Chains A and B, each alone.
Chain A
Protein backbone atom coordinates (compact mmCIF):
# COMPACT_ATOMS: atom_id res chain seq x y z
CA UNK A 1 0.00 0.00 0.00
CA UNK A 2 1.13 3.52 -0.81
CA UNK A 3 2.50 5.26 2.26
CA UNK A 4 1.54 8.69 0.98
CA UNK A 5 -2.08 9.73 1.13
CA UNK A 6 -1.69 13.04 -0.64
CA UNK A 7 1.13 14.56 -2.60
CA UNK A 8 0.87 18.11 -3.85
CA UNK A 9 3.46 19.83 -5.98
CA UNK A 10 3.56 23.43 -7.14
CA UNK A 11 -0.12 24.11 -6.56
CA UNK A 12 -1.28 27.57 -7.58
CA UNK A 13 -4.73 29.04 -7.66
CA UNK A 14 -5.62 32.51 -8.81
CA UNK A 15 -9.32 33.31 -8.89
CA UNK A 16 -10.92 35.14 -11.78
CA UNK A 17 -11.03 38.34 -9.80
CA UNK A 18 -7.23 38.16 -9.57
CA UNK A 19 -7.07 37.02 -5.97
CA UNK A 20 -4.20 34.61 -5.49
CA UNK A 21 -5.48 32.05 -3.01
CA UNK A 22 -2.65 29.55 -3.37
CA UNK A 23 0.85 30.64 -4.24
CA UNK A 24 2.83 27.45 -4.72
CA UNK A 25 1.93 24.71 -2.26
CA UNK A 26 4.08 21.62 -1.88
CA UNK A 27 2.78 19.19 0.64
CA UNK A 28 2.92 15.51 1.45
CA UNK A 29 0.47 13.91 3.81
CA UNK A 30 1.19 10.43 5.08
CA UNK A 31 -1.34 7.68 5.38
CA UNK A 32 -2.98 7.35 8.74
CA UNK A 33 -1.97 10.68 10.18
CA UNK A 34 -4.09 13.53 11.41
CA UNK A 35 -2.88 16.62 9.65
CA UNK A 36 -4.05 20.04 10.77
CA UNK A 37 -4.01 22.93 8.38
CA UNK A 38 -3.84 26.01 10.46
CA UNK A 39 -4.24 29.54 9.27
CA UNK A 40 -6.19 32.76 9.57
CA UNK A 41 -9.33 33.46 7.54
CA UNK A 42 -8.59 33.82 3.85
CA UNK A 43 -5.25 32.03 4.13
CA UNK A 44 -6.20 29.49 1.46
CA UNK A 45 -7.23 26.51 3.59
CA UNK A 46 -10.59 25.94 1.94
CA UNK A 47 -9.20 26.58 -1.55
CA UNK A 48 -6.50 23.98 -0.93
CA UNK A 49 -9.07 21.40 0.18
CA UNK A 50 -11.34 22.34 -2.73
CA UNK A 51 -8.50 21.80 -5.19
CA UNK A 52 -7.78 18.34 -3.80
CA UNK A 53 -11.43 17.31 -3.81
CA UNK A 54 -12.25 18.58 -7.31
CA UNK A 55 -14.36 21.60 -6.38
CA UNK A 56 -11.75 24.21 -7.24
CA UNK A 57 -9.84 24.10 -10.52
CA UNK A 58 -6.17 24.78 -9.82
CA UNK A 59 -4.32 27.27 -12.04
CA UNK A 60 -1.19 25.13 -11.92
CA UNK A 61 0.25 22.20 -10.06
CA UNK A 62 -0.27 18.51 -9.55
CA UNK A 63 -2.19 16.61 -6.93
CA UNK A 64 -1.89 12.89 -6.28
CA UNK A 65 -4.43 11.20 -4.04
CA UNK A 66 -3.26 7.73 -2.97
CA UNK A 67 -1.05 7.81 -6.06
CA UNK A 68 -3.87 8.79 -8.44
CA UNK A 69 -3.71 12.09 -10.29
CA UNK A 70 -6.86 13.96 -9.33
CA UNK A 71 -7.40 15.24 -12.88
CA UNK A 72 -6.43 12.43 -15.22
CA UNK A 73 -7.50 9.66 -12.85
CA UNK A 74 -10.16 11.57 -10.98
CA UNK A 75 -12.45 8.64 -10.34
CA UNK A 76 -9.91 6.66 -8.35
CA UNK A 77 -8.67 9.82 -6.64
CA UNK A 78 -12.13 10.94 -5.56
CA UNK A 79 -13.18 7.46 -4.46
CA UNK A 80 -10.59 7.69 -1.68
CA UNK A 81 -11.84 11.02 -0.39
CA UNK A 82 -14.66 12.02 1.91
CA UNK A 83 -15.28 15.74 2.29
CA UNK A 84 -17.04 17.63 5.03
CA UNK A 85 -17.20 21.24 3.89
CA UNK A 86 -17.22 24.21 6.17
CA UNK A 87 -20.76 25.36 5.51
CA UNK A 88 -23.70 23.26 6.60
CA UNK A 89 -25.23 22.27 3.29
CA UNK A 90 -27.88 19.57 3.48
CA UNK A 91 -31.04 18.55 1.69
CA UNK A 92 -33.48 19.89 4.26
CA UNK A 93 -36.41 17.67 3.30
CA UNK A 94 -34.55 14.39 3.05
CA UNK A 95 -34.31 11.93 5.91
CA UNK A 96 -30.94 11.22 7.50
CA UNK A 97 -30.99 7.65 6.25
CA UNK A 98 -31.81 8.61 2.66
CA UNK A 99 -29.26 11.37 2.41
CA UNK A 100 -26.45 9.16 3.70
CA UNK A 101 -27.47 6.30 1.40
CA UNK A 102 -27.62 8.77 -1.50
CA UNK A 103 -24.04 9.84 -0.82
CA UNK A 104 -22.86 6.26 -0.87
CA UNK A 105 -24.62 5.72 -4.19
CA UNK A 106 -23.02 8.81 -5.72
CA UNK A 107 -19.65 7.22 -5.16
CA UNK A 108 -20.81 4.09 -6.95
CA UNK A 109 -20.74 1.84 -3.93
CA UNK A 110 -23.34 -0.94 -3.65
CA UNK A 111 -25.96 -0.56 -0.94
CA UNK A 112 -24.81 -1.65 2.48
CA UNK A 113 -27.47 -0.96 5.11
CA UNK A 114 -25.41 -2.66 7.81
CA UNK A 115 -22.50 -0.27 7.27
CA UNK A 116 -24.76 2.80 7.23
CA UNK A 117 -26.43 1.60 10.41
CA UNK A 118 -23.08 1.18 12.11
CA UNK A 119 -21.98 4.60 10.89
CA UNK A 120 -25.11 6.35 12.14
CA UNK A 121 -24.83 4.61 15.49
CA UNK A 122 -21.22 5.65 15.84
CA UNK A 123 -22.17 9.26 15.17
CA UNK A 124 -25.15 9.07 17.58
CA UNK A 125 -27.60 9.63 14.73
CA UNK A 126 -29.29 6.26 14.72
CA UNK A 127 -32.43 7.36 16.57
CA UNK A 128 -32.76 10.27 14.11
CA UNK A 129 -32.41 8.18 10.98
CA UNK A 130 -35.96 8.80 9.74
CA UNK A 131 -36.04 12.45 10.76
CA UNK A 132 -35.99 15.17 8.10
CA UNK A 133 -32.67 16.97 8.24
CA UNK A 134 -34.28 20.38 8.70
CA UNK A 135 -35.60 19.20 12.08
CA UNK A 136 -32.10 18.49 13.40
CA UNK A 137 -29.93 20.77 15.50
CA UNK A 138 -26.81 22.36 14.04
CA UNK A 139 -24.52 19.86 15.75
CA UNK A 140 -26.53 16.95 14.40
CA UNK A 141 -26.49 18.39 10.89
CA UNK A 142 -22.72 18.59 11.15
CA UNK A 143 -22.63 14.92 12.11
CA UNK A 144 -24.95 14.07 9.21
CA UNK A 145 -22.41 15.70 6.91
CA UNK A 146 -19.65 13.62 8.46
CA UNK A 147 -21.79 10.50 7.97
CA UNK A 148 -22.30 11.46 4.30
CA UNK A 149 -18.56 11.94 3.87
CA UNK A 150 -17.84 8.53 5.41
CA UNK A 151 -20.69 6.73 3.65
CA UNK A 152 -18.45 5.37 0.89
CA UNK A 153 -15.71 4.23 3.25
CA UNK A 154 -13.01 6.66 2.13
CA UNK A 155 -9.34 6.38 3.07
CA UNK A 156 -9.00 10.11 3.54
CA UNK A 157 -11.37 12.41 5.35
CA UNK A 158 -11.31 16.17 4.97
CA UNK A 159 -12.87 18.21 7.73
CA UNK A 160 -13.05 21.88 6.87
CA UNK A 161 -13.46 23.75 10.14
CA UNK A 162 -15.32 20.86 11.75
CA UNK A 163 -15.92 22.56 15.05
CA UNK A 164 -16.73 26.12 13.97
CA UNK A 165 -19.74 27.17 15.98
CA UNK A 166 -19.89 23.91 17.89
CA UNK A 167 -20.09 23.92 21.68
CA UNK A 168 -17.29 22.61 23.87
CA UNK A 169 -19.03 19.36 24.73
CA UNK A 170 -19.72 18.48 21.13
CA UNK A 171 -16.26 19.57 20.07
CA UNK A 172 -14.72 17.11 22.51
CA UNK A 173 -16.94 14.30 21.29
CA UNK A 174 -16.01 15.15 17.71
CA UNK A 175 -12.33 14.99 18.58
CA UNK A 176 -12.90 11.57 20.10
CA UNK A 177 -14.65 10.44 16.93
CA UNK A 178 -11.83 11.70 14.75
CA UNK A 179 -9.31 9.81 16.86
CA UNK A 180 -11.43 6.68 16.59
CA UNK A 181 -11.40 7.14 12.82
CA UNK A 182 -7.65 7.42 12.78
CA UNK A 183 -7.46 4.12 14.65
CA UNK A 184 -9.36 2.47 11.79
CA UNK A 185 -6.65 3.71 9.43
CA UNK A 186 -8.35 6.77 7.97
CA UNK A 187 -6.14 9.74 7.17
CA UNK A 188 -7.71 12.91 8.52
CA UNK A 189 -6.98 16.38 7.25
CA UNK A 190 -8.64 19.16 9.15
CA UNK A 191 -8.52 22.88 8.85
CA UNK A 192 -9.04 25.02 11.84
CA UNK A 193 -8.27 28.35 13.27
CA UNK A 194 -8.69 27.04 16.76
CA UNK A 195 -5.13 26.41 17.69
CA UNK A 196 -6.11 24.29 20.66
CA UNK A 197 -7.84 21.99 18.22
CA UNK A 198 -4.70 21.45 16.18
CA UNK A 199 -2.69 21.06 19.36
CA UNK A 200 -5.17 18.55 20.74
CA UNK A 201 -5.69 16.51 17.60
CA UNK A 202 -2.94 16.68 15.08
CA UNK A 203 0.15 14.57 14.53
CA UNK A 204 1.46 17.13 12.10
CA UNK A 205 0.63 20.73 11.55
CA UNK A 206 0.92 22.86 8.46
CA UNK A 207 0.64 26.58 8.94
CA UNK A 208 -0.72 28.36 5.92
CA UNK A 209 -0.81 32.08 5.36
CA UNK A 210 -1.49 34.10 2.22
CA UNK A 211 -1.54 30.97 0.08
CA UNK A 212 1.82 29.66 1.23
CA UNK A 213 2.71 26.93 3.67
CA UNK A 214 4.83 28.76 6.19
CA UNK A 215 5.88 25.63 8.00
CA UNK A 216 5.05 21.92 8.07
CA UNK A 217 6.21 20.04 11.11
CA UNK A 218 5.15 17.39 13.55
CA UNK A 219 3.39 19.02 16.41
CA UNK A 220 6.15 18.18 18.86
CA UNK A 221 8.90 19.40 16.56
CA UNK A 222 7.00 22.61 15.98
CA UNK A 223 6.63 23.15 19.68
CA UNK A 224 10.29 22.39 20.20
CA UNK A 225 11.47 24.58 17.40
CA UNK A 226 9.33 27.54 18.05
CA UNK A 227 8.33 26.90 21.61
CA UNK A 228 9.54 29.46 24.08
CA UNK A 229 9.73 28.64 27.71
CA UNK A 230 9.40 31.11 30.47
CA UNK A 231 10.59 30.91 34.04
CA UNK A 232 8.46 33.02 36.33
CA UNK A 233 10.01 34.14 39.59
CA UNK A 234 7.36 35.19 42.08
CA UNK A 235 9.15 37.71 44.28
CA UNK A 236 8.91 38.39 48.02
CA UNK A 237 9.08 42.13 47.49
CA UNK A 238 8.13 43.89 44.29
CA UNK A 239 10.93 45.36 42.20
CA UNK A 240 10.74 48.98 41.15
CA UNK A 241 12.95 48.53 38.11
CA UNK A 242 14.29 45.70 36.00
CA UNK A 243 17.52 44.28 37.45
CA UNK A 244 20.41 44.31 35.06
CA UNK A 245 21.63 40.77 34.43
CA UNK A 246 23.65 40.54 31.19
CA UNK A 247 22.84 37.68 28.75
CA UNK A 248 19.39 37.03 30.19
CA UNK A 249 16.11 38.32 28.70
CA UNK A 250 14.14 39.51 31.66
CA UNK A 251 10.86 41.34 32.12
CA UNK A 252 8.66 42.43 34.98
CA UNK A 253 5.00 41.57 35.39
CA UNK A 254 2.23 42.41 37.84
CA UNK A 255 3.71 45.61 39.15
CA UNK A 256 7.13 44.15 39.74
CA UNK A 257 5.85 41.17 41.71
CA UNK A 258 6.92 38.73 39.05
CA UNK A 259 10.19 38.56 37.21
CA UNK A 260 9.97 36.72 33.89
CA UNK A 261 12.88 35.03 32.18
CA UNK A 262 12.21 34.01 28.59
CA UNK A 263 14.37 31.49 26.79
CA UNK A 264 14.17 29.11 23.91
CA UNK A 265 13.59 25.54 24.97
CA UNK A 266 15.65 23.96 22.23
CA UNK A 267 18.76 26.04 22.83
CA UNK A 268 21.31 25.13 25.44
CA UNK A 269 22.45 28.61 26.34
CA UNK A 270 20.31 28.90 29.43
CA UNK A 271 21.37 28.16 32.93
CA UNK A 272 18.78 28.66 35.64
CA UNK A 273 21.16 28.12 38.55
CA UNK A 274 23.54 30.72 37.15
CA UNK A 275 20.68 33.19 36.83
CA UNK A 276 19.51 32.43 40.35
CA UNK A 277 22.99 33.08 41.70
CA UNK A 278 23.20 36.36 39.84
CA UNK A 279 19.79 37.40 41.11
CA UNK A 280 20.63 36.41 44.62
CA UNK A 281 23.79 38.52 44.39
CA UNK A 282 21.49 41.46 43.75
CA UNK A 283 19.46 40.40 46.74
CA UNK A 284 16.52 39.23 44.66
CA UNK A 285 15.05 36.08 46.14
CA UNK A 286 12.08 34.39 44.57
CA UNK A 287 9.36 32.94 46.79
CA UNK A 288 8.16 30.61 44.05
CA UNK A 289 9.26 29.55 40.62
CA UNK A 290 6.84 28.62 37.84
CA UNK A 291 7.58 27.49 34.38
CA UNK A 292 5.46 28.31 31.35
CA UNK A 293 5.45 26.84 27.87
CA UNK A 294 4.25 28.84 24.92
CA UNK A 295 1.17 27.47 23.23
CA UNK A 296 0.76 26.89 19.54
CA UNK A 297 -1.08 30.17 19.55
CA UNK A 298 2.07 32.04 20.44
CA UNK A 299 3.98 30.03 17.85
CA UNK A 300 1.39 30.84 15.29
CA UNK A 301 1.51 34.55 15.93
CA UNK A 302 5.27 34.36 15.79
CA UNK A 303 5.15 32.57 12.43
CA UNK A 304 2.70 34.71 10.55
CA UNK A 305 3.64 37.84 12.44
Chain B
Protein backbone atom coordinates (compact mmCIF):
# COMPACT_ATOMS: atom_id res chain seq x y z
CA UNK B 1 0.00 0.00 0.00
CA UNK B 2 1.39 3.41 -0.99
CA UNK B 3 0.26 5.26 2.15
CA UNK B 4 2.33 8.32 1.41
CA UNK B 5 0.73 8.55 -2.00
CA UNK B 6 -2.77 8.40 -0.49
CA UNK B 7 -1.80 10.96 2.12
CA UNK B 8 -0.39 13.27 -0.56
CA UNK B 9 -3.60 13.25 -2.58
CA UNK B 10 -5.68 13.66 0.57
CA UNK B 11 -3.59 16.57 1.86
CA UNK B 12 -3.57 18.19 -1.57
CA UNK B 13 -7.36 18.00 -1.84
CA UNK B 14 -7.92 19.21 1.70
CA UNK B 15 -5.53 22.07 1.02
CA UNK B 16 -7.64 23.05 -1.98
CA UNK B 17 -10.66 23.16 0.32
CA UNK B 18 -8.86 25.20 2.95
CA UNK B 19 -7.91 27.83 0.39
CA UNK B 20 -11.60 28.49 -0.18
CA UNK B 21 -12.75 27.80 3.36
CA UNK B 22 -14.96 30.89 3.49
CA UNK B 23 -17.18 29.93 0.60
CA UNK B 24 -17.04 26.26 1.54
CA UNK B 25 -18.72 26.98 4.84
CA UNK B 26 -20.70 30.15 4.18
CA UNK B 27 -22.95 28.71 1.50
CA UNK B 28 -24.24 25.63 3.38
CA UNK B 29 -24.71 27.66 6.57
CA UNK B 30 -26.66 30.39 4.79
CA UNK B 31 -28.90 27.94 2.96
CA UNK B 32 -29.57 26.01 6.17
CA UNK B 33 -30.57 29.22 7.94
CA UNK B 34 -32.89 30.07 5.03
CA UNK B 35 -34.54 26.64 5.16
CA UNK B 36 -35.13 27.01 8.88
CA UNK B 37 -36.65 30.44 8.49
CA UNK B 38 -38.98 29.29 5.69
CA UNK B 39 -39.85 25.73 6.68
CA UNK B 40 -39.13 25.80 10.39
CA UNK B 41 -40.27 29.18 11.62
CA UNK B 42 -42.75 30.38 8.98
CA UNK B 43 -44.48 27.23 7.69
CA UNK B 44 -43.52 24.82 10.45
CA UNK B 45 -45.62 26.67 13.00
CA UNK B 46 -48.72 25.76 10.96
CA UNK B 47 -47.73 22.14 10.47
CA UNK B 48 -48.67 19.52 13.01
CA UNK B 49 -45.96 17.35 14.44
CA UNK B 50 -44.59 14.67 12.13
CA UNK B 51 -44.75 11.28 13.83
CA UNK B 52 -44.68 13.13 17.12
CA UNK B 53 -41.67 15.26 16.23
CA UNK B 54 -42.07 19.05 15.80
CA UNK B 55 -41.71 19.90 12.12
CA UNK B 56 -38.73 22.21 12.64
CA UNK B 57 -36.79 19.42 14.31
CA UNK B 58 -38.13 16.81 11.89
CA UNK B 59 -36.43 18.43 8.91
CA UNK B 60 -33.00 18.74 10.53
CA UNK B 61 -31.68 15.31 9.43
CA UNK B 62 -33.11 15.87 5.94
CA UNK B 63 -31.46 19.27 5.67
CA UNK B 64 -28.11 17.91 6.75
CA UNK B 65 -28.44 15.13 4.18
CA UNK B 66 -29.42 17.63 1.50
CA UNK B 67 -26.20 19.55 2.08
CA UNK B 68 -24.01 16.49 2.55
CA UNK B 69 -25.22 14.79 -0.63
CA UNK B 70 -24.73 17.91 -2.74
CA UNK B 71 -21.33 18.68 -1.25
CA UNK B 72 -20.10 15.10 -1.61
CA UNK B 73 -21.03 14.88 -5.26
CA UNK B 74 -19.73 18.29 -6.22
CA UNK B 75 -16.48 18.01 -4.25
CA UNK B 76 -15.58 14.55 -5.41
CA UNK B 77 -16.55 15.16 -9.03
CA UNK B 78 -14.64 18.42 -9.18
CA UNK B 79 -11.64 16.92 -7.39
CA UNK B 80 -11.03 14.31 -10.09
CA UNK B 81 -12.40 16.27 -13.04
CA UNK B 82 -10.13 19.25 -12.52
CA UNK B 83 -6.82 17.39 -12.98
CA UNK B 84 -8.33 15.73 -16.06
CA UNK B 85 -9.23 19.16 -17.36
CA UNK B 86 -5.85 20.77 -16.66
CA UNK B 87 -3.90 17.67 -17.70
CA UNK B 88 -2.18 17.16 -14.34
CA UNK B 89 -3.88 13.74 -14.12
CA UNK B 90 -0.85 12.37 -16.01
CA UNK B 91 1.04 12.43 -12.74
CA UNK B 92 -1.56 10.42 -10.84
CA UNK B 93 -1.73 7.86 -13.66
CA UNK B 94 2.02 7.45 -13.93
CA UNK B 95 2.56 7.21 -10.16
CA UNK B 96 2.83 3.84 -8.42
CA UNK B 97 -0.73 4.03 -7.13
CA UNK B 98 -3.46 1.40 -7.33
CA UNK B 99 -7.02 2.48 -8.06
CA UNK B 100 -7.97 1.85 -4.44
CA UNK B 101 -5.26 4.25 -3.33
CA UNK B 102 -6.33 6.94 -5.78
CA UNK B 103 -9.95 6.55 -4.66
CA UNK B 104 -8.99 6.62 -0.97
CA UNK B 105 -7.15 9.88 -1.54
CA UNK B 106 -9.78 11.71 -3.56
CA UNK B 107 -12.94 10.24 -2.10
CA UNK B 108 -11.53 10.33 1.42
CA UNK B 109 -10.89 14.06 1.11
CA UNK B 110 -14.28 14.80 -0.45
CA UNK B 111 -16.08 12.75 2.20
CA UNK B 112 -14.11 14.40 5.01
CA UNK B 113 -15.15 17.80 3.77
CA UNK B 114 -18.80 16.66 3.62
CA UNK B 115 -18.68 15.34 7.18
CA UNK B 116 -17.23 18.64 8.38
CA UNK B 117 -19.89 20.64 6.57
CA UNK B 118 -22.64 18.29 7.78
CA UNK B 119 -21.45 18.88 11.33
CA UNK B 120 -21.48 22.63 10.79
CA UNK B 121 -25.07 22.44 9.51
CA UNK B 122 -26.00 20.37 12.55
CA UNK B 123 -24.49 22.99 14.86
CA UNK B 124 -26.32 25.75 12.97
CA UNK B 125 -29.59 23.85 13.33
CA UNK B 126 -29.06 23.60 17.08
CA UNK B 127 -29.51 27.37 17.25
CA UNK B 128 -33.01 27.11 15.79
CA UNK B 129 -34.55 23.94 17.18
CA UNK B 130 -33.99 21.86 20.28
CA UNK B 131 -32.01 18.88 19.01
CA UNK B 132 -32.27 15.40 20.32
CA UNK B 133 -29.96 12.70 19.03
CA UNK B 134 -31.09 9.30 20.23
CA UNK B 135 -28.22 7.28 18.76
CA UNK B 136 -25.13 9.48 18.24
CA UNK B 137 -22.94 6.63 16.98
CA UNK B 138 -25.50 5.62 14.38
CA UNK B 139 -25.83 9.28 13.46
CA UNK B 140 -22.09 9.46 12.81
CA UNK B 141 -22.23 6.16 10.93
CA UNK B 142 -24.94 7.42 8.57
CA UNK B 143 -23.25 10.77 8.12
CA UNK B 144 -19.92 9.17 7.24
CA UNK B 145 -21.38 6.44 5.03
CA UNK B 146 -23.55 8.90 3.13
CA UNK B 147 -20.56 11.16 2.57
CA UNK B 148 -18.49 8.23 1.34
CA UNK B 149 -21.18 6.74 -0.92
CA UNK B 150 -22.03 10.01 -2.60
CA UNK B 151 -18.40 11.02 -2.88
CA UNK B 152 -17.84 7.74 -4.73
CA UNK B 153 -20.74 8.66 -6.98
CA UNK B 154 -19.27 12.12 -7.49
CA UNK B 155 -15.92 10.55 -8.35
CA UNK B 156 -17.64 8.50 -11.06
CA UNK B 157 -19.35 11.61 -12.42
CA UNK B 158 -16.02 13.46 -12.43
CA UNK B 159 -14.50 10.72 -14.56
CA UNK B 160 -17.48 10.44 -16.86
CA UNK B 161 -17.94 14.17 -17.45
CA UNK B 162 -16.18 15.65 -20.45
CA UNK B 163 -17.10 19.25 -19.77
CA UNK B 164 -18.01 21.56 -16.93
CA UNK B 165 -21.65 21.52 -18.06
CA UNK B 166 -21.94 17.77 -17.53
CA UNK B 167 -20.27 18.16 -14.18
CA UNK B 168 -23.17 20.35 -13.09
CA UNK B 169 -25.84 18.53 -15.03
CA UNK B 170 -25.95 15.31 -13.03
CA UNK B 171 -26.23 16.97 -9.62
CA UNK B 172 -28.90 19.25 -11.01
CA UNK B 173 -30.87 16.62 -12.92
CA UNK B 174 -30.51 13.64 -10.63
CA UNK B 175 -29.09 14.37 -7.20
CA UNK B 176 -31.27 17.38 -6.33
CA UNK B 177 -34.57 15.69 -7.33
CA UNK B 178 -33.53 12.52 -5.52
CA UNK B 179 -32.85 14.44 -2.31
CA UNK B 180 -36.01 16.51 -2.47
CA UNK B 181 -38.10 13.44 -3.26
CA UNK B 182 -36.18 11.34 -0.77
CA UNK B 183 -38.05 12.69 2.22
CA UNK B 184 -35.91 15.62 3.31
CA UNK B 185 -38.97 17.66 4.21
CA UNK B 186 -41.60 14.96 4.65
CA UNK B 187 -42.04 11.32 5.45
CA UNK B 188 -42.36 9.21 2.29
CA UNK B 189 -45.05 7.28 4.15
CA UNK B 190 -47.24 10.34 3.60
CA UNK B 191 -47.21 9.68 -0.15
CA UNK B 192 -49.98 7.78 -1.98
CA UNK B 193 -49.13 4.05 -2.18
CA UNK B 194 -47.96 4.22 -5.80
CA UNK B 195 -45.53 7.07 -5.20
CA UNK B 196 -44.40 5.47 -1.99
CA UNK B 197 -43.39 2.38 -4.01
CA UNK B 198 -41.63 4.58 -6.56
CA UNK B 199 -39.77 6.34 -3.74
CA UNK B 200 -38.31 3.04 -2.59
CA UNK B 201 -36.02 2.88 -5.65
CA UNK B 202 -34.56 6.18 -4.56
CA UNK B 203 -31.37 5.44 -2.61
CA UNK B 204 -31.61 8.74 -0.78
CA UNK B 205 -34.78 7.55 0.99
CA UNK B 206 -32.73 4.94 2.84
CA UNK B 207 -30.05 7.41 3.80
CA UNK B 208 -32.41 10.02 5.13
CA UNK B 209 -34.58 7.44 6.84
CA UNK B 210 -31.66 5.85 8.64
CA UNK B 211 -30.23 9.21 9.54
CA UNK B 212 -33.55 10.45 10.89
CA UNK B 213 -33.93 7.25 12.88
CA UNK B 214 -30.62 7.97 14.60
CA UNK B 215 -32.13 11.27 15.78
CA UNK B 216 -35.74 10.41 16.60
CA UNK B 217 -35.91 6.61 16.39
CA UNK B 218 -38.36 6.98 13.54
CA UNK B 219 -37.73 6.13 9.93
CA UNK B 220 -39.60 5.42 6.73
CA UNK B 221 -37.89 2.05 6.42
CA UNK B 222 -36.28 -0.19 9.00
CA UNK B 223 -32.73 0.39 10.21
CA UNK B 224 -31.59 -2.93 8.77
CA UNK B 225 -32.91 -1.99 5.34
CA UNK B 226 -31.17 1.38 5.52
CA UNK B 227 -27.82 -0.11 6.46
CA UNK B 228 -28.11 -2.88 3.86
CA UNK B 229 -28.97 -0.43 1.10
CA UNK B 230 -26.05 1.87 1.96
CA UNK B 231 -23.79 -1.17 1.79
CA UNK B 232 -25.23 -2.11 -1.61
CA UNK B 233 -24.70 1.42 -2.99
CA UNK B 234 -21.14 1.59 -1.72
CA UNK B 235 -20.25 -1.77 -3.24
CA UNK B 236 -21.94 -0.84 -6.54
CA UNK B 237 -20.05 2.47 -6.72
CA UNK B 238 -16.76 0.73 -5.91
CA UNK B 239 -17.52 -1.85 -8.57
CA UNK B 240 -18.05 0.82 -11.20
CA UNK B 241 -14.82 2.55 -10.19
CA UNK B 242 -12.91 -0.73 -10.32
CA UNK B 243 -14.24 -1.25 -13.84
CA UNK B 244 -13.22 2.31 -14.78
CA UNK B 245 -9.65 1.71 -13.72
CA UNK B 246 -9.44 -1.75 -15.23
CA UNK B 247 -10.63 -0.60 -18.64
CA UNK B 248 -9.04 2.82 -18.38
CA UNK B 249 -12.40 4.38 -19.26
CA UNK B 250 -11.84 8.11 -19.89
CA UNK B 251 -8.60 7.94 -17.92
CA UNK B 252 -6.12 5.88 -19.89
CA UNK B 253 -6.11 6.17 -23.63
Contact = CB atoms under 8 A, between A and B. Distances in A.
Interface in B1-34: 2-5, 7-9, 11-12, 15-16, 19
Given A85-B87, A89-B86, A93-B19, A55 B94 contact: yes
Instruction: Report the contact-size class of chain B (Cβ under 8 Å from the partner).
Output: 20 to 34
B252 A57 contact: yes
Contacts of A102: 8, 11-12
Nearest to B251: A55
A85 B253 CA distance: 15
B90 A85 contact: yes
A83 B90 contact: yes
B97 A57 contact: no
B248 interface: yes
B252 A92 contact: no
Interface residues on A, range: 20 to 34
A105 interface: yes
Task: Pick from B9, B19, B87, B88 the residue with the most CB of A within 10 Å.
Answer: B88
Interface in A97-146: 98, 102-103, 105-110
Contact of B96 (A47, A74, A87, A98): A74
Given A50-B253, A55-B252, A109 B90 contact: no
Interface in A60-107: 74-76, 78-79, 81, 83, 85, 87, 89-93, 98, 102-103, 105-107
The DSSP consensus for interface residues of chain B is: helix
B91 A103 contact: yes
B91 A54 contact: no
Contacts of A110: 4
A87 B95 CA distance: 18
B88 A91 contact: yes
Interface string A246-280: 00000000000000000000000000000000000
B92 A106 contact: yes
Nearest to A103: B91
A235 to B, nearest CB: 57
Interface string B164-175: 000000000000
Given A83-B90, A103-B91, A108-B5, 17 more contacts: A15-B253, A47-B253, A53-B94, A54-B94, A56-B252, A56-B253, A57-B252, A74-B96, A83-B91, A85-B90, A93-B19, A105-B5, A106-B5, A106-B95, A107-B2, A109-B4, A148-B91
Interface of A: 15, 47, 50, 53-57, 74-76, 78-79, 81, 83, 85, 87, 89-93, 98, 102-103, 105-110, 148
23 contacts: A53-B93, A54-B94, A54-B252, A57-B248, A57-B253, A74-B96, A75-B96, A78-B96, A79-B96, A81-B94, A85-B87, A85-B90, A87-B87, A89-B86, A90-B86, A91-B88, A92-B86, A98-B15, A102-B11, A103-B91, A105-B4, A106-B5, A106-B95
